[in-house]
Chains A and B, each alone.
Chain A
Amino acid sequence: MFYREAGDFKTTYAADQQTFPILFDRRTYYIVLAIALGVMPFVVTDYITNAILLPFLIYAIAAIGLNILTGYCGQVSLGTGGFMAVGAYATYKLMTGFPDLNIAIIVVLSGFITAGVGVLFGLPSLRIKGFYLAVATLAAQFFLVWMFNKVSWFYNYSASGQINAPERTMLGQPVTGAETEPWVAYLFCLAFLIVLAVIARNLTRGRIGRSWMAIRDMDIAAEIIGVNPLWSKLSAFAVSSFFVGVSGSLFFAVYLGAVEVGEAFGIQKSFLVLFMIIIGGLGSIFGSLAGAAFMVLLPVVLKLVMVDSLGWPTDLAAHFNFIVVGALIVAFLIFEPHGLAQLWRIAKEKLRLWPFPH
């Protein structure tokens, strides 16, 4: 009733190939965009921005990136934290090396640098598959974190080993540094998320996305029908790392402001992003967003319920968080391996007939 494909006739090729071919999806998309851009900036507070919105936006970018690699191309990576660190440190070096460069350009450049590093660590994927590759990406994770810890050139020889984002402005408003208004930080990250999500959506339904999916479903068969595995795998690594790098860059420059690499980009971060795409849905852009939202909201909600209303100690809430996340991962893999995105698809199926199911 509410969700239907019928009666929505296309008269041009352009209309037939648009990003959201179904009217209901398109309307939802524009409404969400309008609220995110037109309403949210005026109502956000410091707490909401820092506790929910910024982490959501930034993790969503990382989750889309990892989903391209794992969900679409089938290459499991446990090195997301390490690649986020590359993005962060590239941003830091660019910010301090070229003070006049616009921050948005710096973020994009950091993405490209991370893409290069990602391709480098993606090279073994041509020989190694499955868990072997997952473990190989752990090499990237540990090696990169160690490198940013030990090579003092990366943190400009500062005594603490930390990197701090200096203040940079965009259109007269500070985007990084302590003076940043919450709505500016929100809009800055949101802009990146929107642009990157649109790019990702269109990449994955285009030629390159199809070659990724062919590799995912069966790489030897894909190779036989003429998909170039070298190009497909490496491009997936490059695009994925670009997204993850941008997310790491924003995570450092806009969200945290100061970063100690082992703490901010450790192995836990890799798992966190991996969980986002499992819960959200492998091979779905919407799923990446849903998963990121879920994993960001869960600890906040648990803390709200347990600590603030029940008065339990915080460490107990943290343990509960672990238990709930673990149990959810297992439950999702058992009952709905395609995650929240699939639940949404089922809901749409039901909406199509509702309220007259016969």
Chain B
Amino acid sequence: MSADFLNLLEVAINGLMAGVLYSLVALGFVLIFKASGVFNYAQGVMALFAAQTLVGIQTGQVPFAHLINAIFGTEVHYFGWNVPALLAILFTVLVMILFAWIVVKVILVRLVGQEPIILFMATIGLAYFMEGFGDMMWNSEVKRLDVGIPSGGSFWIEDVTVQWAAEGERYFGMYVDVLDIWATVIAVALVASLAAFAQYTKPGRAMRAVADDPTAALSVGISLNKIWIMVWSLAGFVAIVAGIMWGAKSGVQFSLSLIALKALPVLMLGGFTSISGAIVGGLIIGVGEKLFEYLIGVPFLGGATENWFAYVLALIFLVFRPQGLFGEKIIERV
């Protein structure tokens, strides 16, 4: 194989890995959208908040230390202990469940029956609130997140791929981050377990019933409130996973919440209501933007096309197929 082709392959593989992470965020969107019809803009901030909470608990930060210090003039920052990663994740899950409960009880039940776009704007408000709240609780510094997932380039892949190159080519092997491989494995496991949960368990079936027809589900005795809390908790759990992956990759910082925006075109491509759509859409966007950047962006357009490629692709795509790849057909009635 020629070096050019191998380079292209490397770009595509890395795009695939990035796409998996987009899919993870998109998955959280789809879960909530299916069950409660809310397009949850705050999903990205939830990932950021989850990652902040995880790091905070792990390193024993005092919550609201900044505020306490400002009011009482004290100097507290850390409790001085370190919590093991697994325990910290468990605590974070509890925090996200509590968060889900508050969101449903305080916001969602009061907005029942409003137009979808109003709900969407409410989640933008929620996102702002959480962003400020998370920063105030755990301070806004860029933090390192380490839960023991290995990272760094894989030498094994490098060694293997070097031999693929044709004789005499200058080729030094592919760079694939081990973390990305782990992320892929975990994402696949997560999707599989979510699908199994929805397919084979009682609450999962109730969740699908609500997604299918809320009124009918209500009439056979399914509590919408409970399902919503469950779904938001699940989305919180997905946010934790996404937060861990992105946080381990590029540090816990504000830009983490912007991946939510990247997940939007993924959803448009895949359709808002389809879990498999979210996965496929994520992969297409991930590979597409990396390849576009590599083949056209850098040589002809001056680079950084990743900022907009996904949106423009989704825009063009939507003009021809407004419901996305796997979405249900949109029928409009007067």
Contacts and interface: CB of A to CB of B under 8 A. Distances in A.
Given A313-B66, A321-B132, A323-B133, A139 B311 contact: yes
Contact of A329 (B116, B122, B265, B318): B122
Given A76-B117, A271-B124, A322-B129, A132 B304 contact: no
Interface of A: 76, 124, 127-132, 134-136, 138-139, 142-143, 145-146, 149-151, 218, 220-221, 224, 267, 271, 274-275, 278, 310-313, 315-316, 318-330, 333-334, 337
B140 A315 contact: yes
Given A127-B319, A128-B318, A323-B129, 13 more contacts: A127-B322, A128-B319, A130-B117, A135-B314, A138-B261, A143-B311, A150-B302, A150-B304, A316-B67, A322-B133, A322-B135, A323-B132, A334-B122
Contacts, number: 147
Contact of A274 (B66, B121, B264): B121
B121 A316 contact: no
6 contacts: A221-B334, A274-B124, A315-B66, A315-B140, A333-B114, A334-B122
A313 to B, nearest CB: 6
Given A130-B116, A329-B125, A333-B111, A319 B308 contact: no
A321 B128 CA distance: 9
A313 B66 CA distance: 9
Interface in B227-244: none
A267 B129 CA distance: 17
Given A135-B311, A138-B264, A322 B128 contact: yes
Contacts of B126: 326, 330
A329 B312 contact: no
Contacts of B265: 135, 138-139
Chain B interface residue count: which class?
A: 35 or more
A146 B128 contact: no
A333 B118 contact: yes
Contacts of A313: 66, 70
B315 A124 contact: yes
B288 to A, nearest CB: 14
Contact of A220 (B70, B129, B140, B334): B334
A127 B318 contact: yes
Nearest to B321: A127
Contacts of A224: 334
B180 interface: no
B160 interface: no
Nearest to B318: A128
A271 B122 CA distance: 12
Contact of A138 (B118, B130, B311, B319): B311
B136 A320 contact: yes
B264 A330 contact: no
A329 B114 contact: no
A138 B309 CA distance: 11
Interface string B95-115: 000000000000100110010
Contacts of A278: 121, 125
B75 interface: no
